[in-house]
Amino acid sequence: MSQDKDIPLAELRRAQPRFSGFEAGHRACLGCGEALAARLVTESAGPDVVYANATGCLEVFTTAWPESAWRVPWMHSLFANAAAIGAGMEAALKAQGRSTRVIAMGGDGGTFDIGFQALSGMLERGHNVLYVCYDNEAYMNTGIQRSSSTPHAAVTTTSPAGRERMGKRHLKKDIVSIVAAHHIPYAATASVAYPADLRKKVRRALAIDGPTFLHVHTPCPLGWGHDSALTIEIARLAVQTGLFPVIELERGGVAGVMPIREQRPVSDYLRLQNRFRHLFADDVRAREELEHLQALADHNIERYGLRPGHEADPLDTEGADTVKRGGVR
Partner 1 sequence: MRQALEGSQAIARAVSLCKPQVVSAYPITPQTHIVENLSRLVADGELECELVSVESEFSAASVALGAVAAGSRAYTASSSQGILLMAEVLFNIAGLRMPLVLTCANRAVSAPLSIWNDQQDSMAVRDAGWIQLYCADNQEAVDTTIQAFRIAEQCELPVMVCVDGFTLTHTLEVLEMPEPEQVDAFLPPFRFARRLDPDKPLSVGTLVSPEYFTETRHDHHQALRDATDIIVQAQQEWLTISGRDSGGLLRQSGPADARTAILTLGSIAGTLEEAMEAHGTGAPARLIVLRAFRPFPDQALRDACQGLERLIVLERALSPGAGGIVGSEVRAALSALDRPPRVFNFAVGLGGRDVPLEIYPRLLDAVDAGRGSDFDILDLDPSKLPAEDA
Partner 2 sequence: MSVKITRGSFARPGTSLQFDTGSWRIQRPQHRHATAPCHAACPAGEDAQAWLALVEQERFRDAWETLIAANPLPAITGRVCHHPCEAACNRGNYDEPIAIHHVERLIGDMALEEDWPLPPSQTNGDPREVAVVGAGPAGCSAAWHLARSGYRVQLFEALPEAGGLLRSAIPPYRLPAAVVERELHRLLARPGIRFLPGQRLGRDFDLDELQASFAAVFLSIGTQRGRDWSIDGATPSDLHVGLPLLKEWMDVGAIPTWNSVAIVGAGNTAIDLARVLKLSGVPEVHIISHKAIPGPGVAPDDAMPAIRREIEQALEEGVVIHEHRGVQRLILRGEQVIGVELVHMKKLPDAEGRLQRVAFEGTESILHVEQVIPAIGQVVEPEGVQSLLGQRSFFRVDDRGCFPDHPRLFTGGDARGDRGTVSEAIGDGRRAALAIDRLLRQQAGDPPSPAQQPIPAEQLNLNYFETAPRPRVPVLDVARRASFAEIEGPLDTRQALGEGERCLSCGNCMACDNCWTLCPDVAVLKTREVASDGSHYLFDYGYCKGCGLCARECPTGYIVMQPDL
User: Binding partner 1 by CB under 8 A: which of 20, 77, 145, 294?
Assistant: 77
- Check residue 85 and give left, alpha or beta (phi > 0: left; psi -120 to 50: alpha): alpha
Is the Cα dihedral 66, 100, 45, 117 positive or negative? Answer: positive
Question: Residues 145, 139: contact at Cβ < 8 Å?
Answer: yes
Decide which of partner 2, partner 1, none touches 252; Cβ closer than 5 to 8 Å per partner kind: none
State the DSSP string of 180-243: HTT--SEEEEEETT-HHHHHHHHHHHHTSSS-EEEEEE---HHHHT--GGGHHHHHHHHHHHTS
- Residue 86 interacts with partner 1 (CB under 8 A): yes or no: yes
Binding mask 181-210 for partner 2 (x = CB under 8 A): -----------x--x---------------
User: Binding partner 2 by CB under 8 A: which of 162, 282, 310, 325?
Assistant: 325
Q: Which stretch binds partner 2 (CB under 8 A): 10-18, 82-90, 95-103, 201-209?
A: 10-18
User: Binding partner 1 by CB under 8 A: which of 95, 284, 323, 328?
Assistant: 95
- Residue 230 interacts with partner 1 (CB under 8 A): yes or no: no
Q: Output the smallest distance, CB 28 to partner 2, in A.
A: 6
Separation between Cα atoms, residue 168 and residue 161, nearest integer Å: 8
Separation between Cα atoms, residue 137 and residue 275, nearest integer Å: 11
Helix (H) or strand (E) holding 41: helix 33-45
What type of residue sits at position 215? H
Count Cβ atoms below 10 Å from residue 14 Cβ, excluding itself: 9
* CA 132 to chain CA centroid, nearest Å: 8
Q: Which is nearer to partner 1, 68 or 158 (CB)?
A: 68
Decide which of partner 1, partner 2, none touches 39; Cβ closer than 5 to 8 Å per partner kind: partner 2
The CA-to-CA distance between both ends of the chain, in Å, stands at 30
Three-class secondary structure assignment of 251-289: CCEEEEECCCCCCCCHHHHHCCCHHHHHHHCCCHHHHHH
Q: Which is nearer to partner 2, 24 or 95 (CB)?
A: 24
Instruction: Give, as ranges, the residues between 67 and 96 that touch partner 2 (CB under 8 A).
Output: 67-72
- Residue 310 interacts with partner 2 (CB under 8 A): yes or no: no
Question: Residues 279, 289: contact at Cβ < 8 Å?
Answer: yes
What type of residue sits at position 32? C
Q: Which is nearer to partner 2, 230 or 255 (CB)?
A: 230
Helix (H) or strand (E) holding 57: helix 57-62
Q: Output the smallest distance, CB 141 to partner 1, in A.
A: 11
- Residue 124 interacts with partner 1 (CB under 8 A): yes or no: yes
Decide which of partner 1, partner 2, none touches 200; Cβ closer than 5 to 8 Å per partner kind: none
Binding mask 174-213 for partner 1 (x = CB under 8 A): ----------------------------------------
Give me the residues that bind partner 2 (CB under 8 A), please.
Answer: 1, 3-4, 7-10, 12-13, 16-18, 20, 22-28, 30-33, 35-36, 39-40, 62-72, 192, 195, 221, 227-233, 236, 312, 314, 318-319, 321-327, 329
Give me the residues that bind partner 1 (CB under 8 A), please.
Answer: 47-50, 52-53, 59-60, 62-66, 68, 70-78, 80-81, 83-96, 100, 117-118, 120-122, 124-125
